[in-house]
Amino acid sequence: MSDAPQKTVFLETFGCQMNFLDSELVIGQFRRMGLRIASDRDSADIILFNTCAVRDHAEQKVTSRLGELRQVKADRPGVIIGVIGCQAEREGKLLISRFPHIDVLCGPSQLDRLPDLIAEAQATRKRAVALSGGVKGRQRDADPEGNAIERLDQSRAFAPGENPLQAYVRVQRGCDKFCAYCVVPGVRGKEKSRKPENIVADCRRLVEAGCREITLLGQTVNSYVQNDAAGQPVTLARLLEQLCGLPNLLRLRFVTSYPGGFDENILRVMAAHPAICPYLHIPAQSGSDRMLNAMRRQYTAADYLRLMDRAREIVPGISLAGDFIVGFPGETESDFAATVEMVRRVRYKNCFVFKYSPRPGTAAAQLPDDVPDDVKRERNNILLAEQAAISSQTHAELVGQRLSVLVEGPSKSAIESPAGNPRQLTGRTVFDQIVVFDCPAGAEPSQLAGRLAEVRILHATPYTLIGELATIESAGAPNDSAPLRYKSLTVIQ
Ligand code: 5AD
Ligand code: SF4
């Protein structure tokens, strides 16, 4: 056996859940190559950024990181610097001309090749590149069948003793909607649904390894449809039903839904199966028909509101989350007022609000970016304040109730803030509400991850519910593999 120290890899991820899933899968590949995952960037042998291209701001963060690495590469020419994901695909060789110290460039549809690209760059000391053709991907798709992504998805492996409590599973890659502002169809290619058998097999393996919550990922997940082995089309509604049959799968979610052509059978299946969380992330983007039309969204504000009403009728208590873009070209005060009105009408659980960012290669990039940045910022703040007021009200109604919470582990403040409470735990309800509470005496906060707790809500902020633990699942819970120091914890009233 070689005495050479194990090589290390540092990977920083930007962007959406799809990118976090991709990163998890490539990390699995690295582990199999014998690499160690490093937390210190500048001393790692391989430094990678998994990038996002949806807004300019995300790209700027990466270009500033790449600027910082110039010196690292000058000091240690053997270091491999790689840019992977959507910005790599969008900017392509342009990125190399600005940052010639990049050794590896790999688009999101080629990530199964990443270990080979890194090995090639190390062996040849030349740059290794795997891209599909940038934003012109509308004409060219290097992986139209989605085989490369399938290989990546199926490469998921667990280290011994690893217990994935929550996992993302891709059901679909790419997007065919071509909303006017969006770079995703260009960088992630055509929409392609994975085979249902493969998805079910992935989910089964996860559940058998101890996973209790699975989130299915697709850019327009409700348009999922793929033939099964018998040649019968399986829709998202059918797929959800099949997955609910997996023993010990506690919670199943799916994101992100597209409002146009939403099949009500999905709502019926949600209502019928307690394992499917009553939660929809369903971006409206605007409340104004003029804007929706300019954005090339394939529905009107009235269609969207009708669908939200149906969702509330069919799935009682359903929690709705939305995305909005403010300051899209030509957005007037009255267009924006329609968006505010929509937020008030829908009463979302939460909203993500984005200032429009022109993206080269998209249809909207041809339009003048005519809403000044300070107006975009003001509209962004107004919308967030509207939503915060709604969230405060709905959260206040929960004070005094006992909610069932799947514990995720120590809270952000317990981990990151020196002044934070190191024993604070965080988890989520089926409605995706974040609940924090103190770990009971005698238990280790990190060992409670994955357990269902009953938490009595004491206070609320717009973003978080703060409670006290009432009961928690005992150590003999299904799939328990992590030893707990105690057998069961009961009521602390
Ligand atoms: N500018 C601002 N926001 C954008 N989004 C997508 N493209 C842009 C853009 N060019 C937002 C949409 C989408 C979310 C993931 O990002 O709201 O739902
Ligand atoms: Fe982008 Fe529209 Fe596709 Fe969503 S549906 S990924 S916003 S093009």
Q: Higher-confidence residue: 106 or 446?
A: 106
Is the pLDDT assigned to residue 301 strictly greater than 50? yes
Q: What's the 359 CA to ligand 1 centre distance in angstroms?
A: 10
Is the pLDDT assigned to residue 225 strictly greater than 50? yes
Picking from 304, 300, 393, 381, the residue whose alpha carbon sits closest to that of residue 349 is 393
Could you identify the atom of ligand 2 that is nearest to the CA of residue 183?
1
DSSP state of 477: -
Question: Domain 8-130 is of which CATH architecture?
Answer: 3-Layer(aba) Sandwich (3.40)
pLDDT value, residue 29: 92
Q: What's the 178 CA to ligand 2 centre distance in angstroms?
A: 6
Instruction: Give me the mean pLDDT over the 319-337 stretch.
Output: 98
Q: What are the helix (H) ranges across 372-478? A: 373-396, 412-416
Q: What's the 55 CA to ligand 1 centre distance in angstroms?
A: 7
User: Domain locations in the chain?
Assistant: 8-130, 143-277, 283-395, 402-491
Could you identify the atom of ligand 1 that is nearest to the CA of residue 324?
17
The yes-or-no answer to whether 283-395 and 402-491 have a common fold is: no
Confidence of residue 105 (pLDDT cuts 50, 70, 90): very high
Q: What's the 449 CA to ligand 1 centre distance in angstroms?
A: 32
Confidence of residue 493 (pLDDT cuts 50, 70, 90): very low
Decide whether any atom of ligand 1 lies within 6 Å of the 170 Cβ: no
pLDDT value, residue 3: 62
Q: How far apart are CA 232 and CA 190, in angstroms?
A: 22
Picking from 27, 31, 98, the residue whose alpha carbon sits closest to that of residue 59 is 98
Confidence of residue 133 (pLDDT cuts 50, 70, 90): low
pLDDT value, residue 55: 97
Supply the residue whose CA is at minimum distance from atom 13 of ligand 1: 323
Q: What's the 183 CA to ligand 1 centre distance in angstroms?
A: 9
Confidence of residue 141 (pLDDT cuts 50, 70, 90): low
Decide whether any atom of ligand 1 lies within 6 Å of the 53 Cβ: no
Confidence of residue 2 (pLDDT cuts 50, 70, 90): low
Reported as a single tens digit per residue, the pLDDT across 361-372 is: 999 999 999 999
pLDDT value, residue 489: 29
Decide whether any atom of ligand 1 lies within 6 Å of the 357 Cβ: yes
pLDDT value, residue 487: 24
Which residues touch 60 (CB under 8 Å, ≥6 apart)? Answer: none
Picking from 438, 319, 329, the residue whose alpha carbon sits closest to that of residue 375 is 329
Are β-strands 36-37 and 434-438 bridged in parallel, bridged antiparallel, or unpaired?
A: unpaired
Q: What are the helix (H) ranges across 7-125? A: 17-32, 56-75, 86-91, 93-98, 114-124
Is the pLDDT assigned to residue 482 strictly greater than 50? no
Q: How far apart are CA 475 and CA 487, in angstroms?
A: 5
Is the pLDDT assigned to residue 471 strictly greater than 80? yes
Distances (CA, A) of 308 to 105, 293, 322, 323: 42, 19, 11, 14
Indicate if the alpha-carbon torsion angle 62, 67, 70, 71 is positive or negative: negative
CATH for the stretch 402-491: 2.40.50
Measured from the alpha carbon of residue 223, the closest ligand is 2
Percentage of residues in the chain with pLDDT exceeding 70?
A: 92
Ligand 2 pocket mutation pick from 172, 184, 256 by most atoms within 8 angstroms of CB: 184
Supply the residue whose CA is at minimum distance from atom 18 of ligand 1: 323
3-class DSSP state of 81: strand
Which of 48-57, 138-147, 216-225 bottoms out in mean pLDDT, i.e. has the lowest?
138-147
Q: Higher-confidence residue: 337 or 248?
A: 337
Confidence of residue 479 (pLDDT cuts 50, 70, 90): very low
Is the pLDDT assigned to residue 442 strictly greater than 90? no
Question: Domain 283-395 is of which CATH architecture?
Answer: 2-Layer Sandwich (3.30)
Q: What's the 55 CA to ligand 2 centre distance in angstroms?
A: 13
Reported as a single tens digit per residue, the pLDDT across 259-285 is: 999 999 999 999 999 999 999 999 999
Q: How many residues does the chain have?
A: 493
Instruction: Give me the mean pLDDT over the 75-79 stretch.
Output: 95
* DSSP states along 170-227: E-EES-----TT--HHHHH-S-EEPPHHHHHHHHHHHHHTT--EEEEE-TTGGG-EEE
Could you identify the atom of ligand 2 that is nearest to the CA of residue 182?
1
Measured from the alpha carbon of residue 189, the closest ligand is 2
Pocket, ligand 2, Cβ cutoff 6 A: 175, 177-179, 182, 184-185, 219-220, 258
Confidence of residue 160 (pLDDT cuts 50, 70, 90): low
Would the pTM count as exceeding 0.85? yes
Instruction: Give me the mean pLDDT over the 11-35 stretch.
Output: 94
Is the pLDDT assigned to residue 459 strictly greater than 60? yes
Which residues touch 471 (CB under 8 Å, ≥6 apart)? Answer: 453, 454, 489, 490, 491
Reported as a single tens digit per residue, the pLDDT across 379-431 is: 999 999 999 999 999 999 999 999 999 999 998 877 777 777 889 999 999 99
Burial (0-12, 13-18, 19+ Cβ within 10 Å), 487: exposed
Q: Which CATH number fits domain 143-277: 3.40.390.10, 1.10.1740.10, 3.40.50.300, 3.30.750.210?
A: 3.30.750.210
Q: What's the 302 CA to ligand 1 centre distance in angstroms?
A: 21
3-class DSSP state of 50: strand
Could you identify the atom of ligand 2 that is nearest to the CA of residue 175?
3
Ligand 2 pocket mutation pick from 19, 172, 176, 220 by most atoms within 8 angstroms of CB: 220
Q: How far apart are CA 237 and CA 227, in angstroms?
A: 14
3-class DSSP state of 468: strand
Residue identified by tokens 């914890």 is 489
